[in-house]
Amino acid sequence: MLRKLEETQELFRFGERSGSTESTPRGRPSLHFDSASERSKRRKVIKLRSSTSLEELSVATSMELRATGDNAAAKIVKEVTTTTPTRGKRMLSKWRAKDVPRRQLSEEEAVSLIVTAQLTKSQYLFIRETAKFHGHDIYPNYERVKKAKKVAYPEGITIEEEKCEVDLQSLLNHTASRIISFIVQSGKEISASTCKLICKWGFDGSSGHSRYKQTWQTSNVKDDSLFATSLVPLQLLDSASGEYIWSNPHPSSARFCRPIRIQWIQETKEISKAEENYVRDQINNLQLASVGNVVVKFELLLTMIDGKVCSALTETSCMRCYLCGARISDMNNLNKIKKMKVDESKFSFGLSILHCYIRFFECLLHISYRLDIKMWKVKSADGSKIAMERRKKIVQNGFRSRMGLIVDLPKPGFGTTNDGNTARRFFANPALSAEISGISEDLITRFSVILRAVSTGIRVNDKTFSAYCLKTAKSYVKLYPWFHMPQTIHKVLLHGAEIVKNAILPIGQLSEEALEARHKDIRRYREKHTRKVSRIATNYDLFHRLLLTSDPFISCLGAPGHWDLTRCAL
């Protein structure tokens, strides 16, 4: 064997010496570049890449493509390699977008788009025609959209010059039907045979509305004051297990605030009491609703009201607590307050969270104005009013220059500039607010914590909340014993924990903010989305717009992430 190996080696050496070309090649045969694998191709061009610049490679590639007649590919290579660094990424995203299937929006999605973008009919038609001109027929015909709109309107609507309303039973039946339709369309199954729909409701007045040049046919009232009654669906529960089937994703949003009745009258105590009795009579006569195989019963909570309405319904002065009857002069006497009997039936009114922000803010402002005189009741005779006004201007200028806030100034038709957004910005920065106002930073911080706790949509530990509020009340009385605690602050600090404990839902979900925000919608819809030919026509368009924009199916459909508009984008 060894001898044969030596003979073979000698044969190869002889061939090399003699220059013979008939020797057998060694190793795997070399493949053509086109036939090689991707890995082999990368290995073969390593030497070329190391010795040639990117610009030379791109120019050579473009020239070779042009030589073979592929001018389009040559231009693409030049565009990608010689322009901006992000050009290739943008071209790739556009190329991939061609593979994304474009579908036409459904009628409900088109309505949701109109409502969310606050489009008029002419604006929608303009957008639709522009998209069709570019070859993208993604918006349905407006006649189909109109049919989807009609489905969003309940039956039993009454339109008059001085008021518009819908039957409460019809409104609740329609609301439950639309919620269940949305659940079914989302691919979920409802196994429960009996459900309970929990809603909150309330009423509030607003002023400063535009007065139109329209005649009154049946009455003669002013159209600059409006009194609105609305409800918001919160949860759909399985009556047997108590588990929720649907929960309102934005319980404080105006997009779920459904109108019951709007009246062109000014808010008074008598009007508030009459409206509460009117709606209570309808609630007492409610019947079960049948939606497919599901039977729905209703529970309505009167929580969308402010402190003024609470005092009107309980026939209590605004200078007294409607829960314990304490007078304003007794509210700093915490030992006396503890001994007073509390009317627990009024806990159902909730906390009026939005107005709590404003009242807490105004309380600290009024204390700040009086820091030089340390008096609750200001008199002109002793010069205390002049001193207070002097400090008030200093505090107002400080907030204006350092935080951009306009505080405690009259706003024609709207009360003052002390609104919820101003109060939130005040409590969002306790250190700066304390520096400007001269109020204790610790007290501002504690107020801020309490307000944020009751604003959340989750349960609050009532025992911990009670201890924190009581400690805050003691701190307030110790710091400013000369300024009587306002009724709203007294309610939150002394009775807030009991109200939170007795609420069937997290107290933050029972806020009146949706109804307050609805007043802005009414002003805008009345101006831009109604006919002005008569008061009946104006009220008709306004009320139907309020019903459409608050439809649960449309509002849930328009929530971010439910349907992907980018798949239909131009």
- What pLDDT digit, counting tens, does each position of 510-548 carry? 999 999 999 999 999 999 999 999 999 999 999 999 999
Of 319-333, 370-384, 487-501, minimum mean pLDDT range = 370-384
At 562 the pLDDT is 45
d(CA 340, CA 326): 8
Average model confidence (pLDDT) across the chain: 87
- What pLDDT digit, counting tens, does each position of 97-120 carry? 665 556 788 898 899 999 988 898
Confidence band, pLDDT 50/70/90 cuts, at residue 8: very low
At 41 the pLDDT is 76
The structure tokens listed for 565 are 């508009």
- What pLDDT digit, counting tens, does each position of 212-226 carry? 988 888 777 888 899
- What pLDDT digit, counting tens, does each position of 192-210 carry? 889 999 999 999 999 889 9
Phi-psi category of 407—alpha, beta or left, where left has phi over 0 and alpha has psi -120 to 50?
A: beta
d(CA 538, CA 535): 5
At 26 the pLDDT is 65
- What pLDDT digit, counting tens, does each position of 44-100 carry? 778 777 788 878 888 888 888 888 888 888 888 888 777 777 877 877 777 666 655
- What pLDDT digit, counting tens, does each position of 299-358 carry? 999 999 998 999 999 999 888 999 999 999 999 999 999 899 999 999 999 999 999 999
- What pLDDT digit, counting tens, does each position of 147-172 carry? 999 999 999 999 999 999 999 999 99
pLDDT (average), residues 546-552: 95
Confidence band, pLDDT 50/70/90 cuts, at residue 2: very low
Q: Is the pLDDT at 34 greater than 60, yes or no?
A: yes
Q: Is the pLDDT at 560 greater than 50, yes or no?
A: no
Check the CA dihedral 175-176-181-187 and report its sign: positive
d(CA 452, CA 223): 37
Bridge partners, 432 (sequence order): none
At 68 the pLDDT is 85
At 17 the pLDDT is 44
Confidence band, pLDDT 50/70/90 cuts, at residue 268: very high
Q: Is the pLDDT at 569 greater than 50, yes or no?
A: no
At 564 the pLDDT is 41
Q: Nearest-5° angle of CA 394, CA 396, CA 402?
A: 95
- Following DSSP, what letter does each residue of 341-371 receive, concatenated? ---GGGGGG---HHHHHHHHHHHHHHHHHTT
- Per mean pLDDT, which of 187-191, 201-205, 374-378 is the most reliable? 201-205
d(CA 403, CA 409): 16
At 96 the pLDDT is 67
How many residues in total does the chain contain?
570
At 25 the pLDDT is 57
Amino acid at 301: L
Of 22-36, 276-290, 291-305, 405-419, minimum mean pLDDT range = 22-36
At 406 the pLDDT is 93
The structure tokens listed for 481 are 């014993």
Q: Is the pLDDT at 284 greater than 90, yes or no?
A: yes
Of 230-234, 266-270, 308-312, 563-567, minimum mean pLDDT range = 563-567
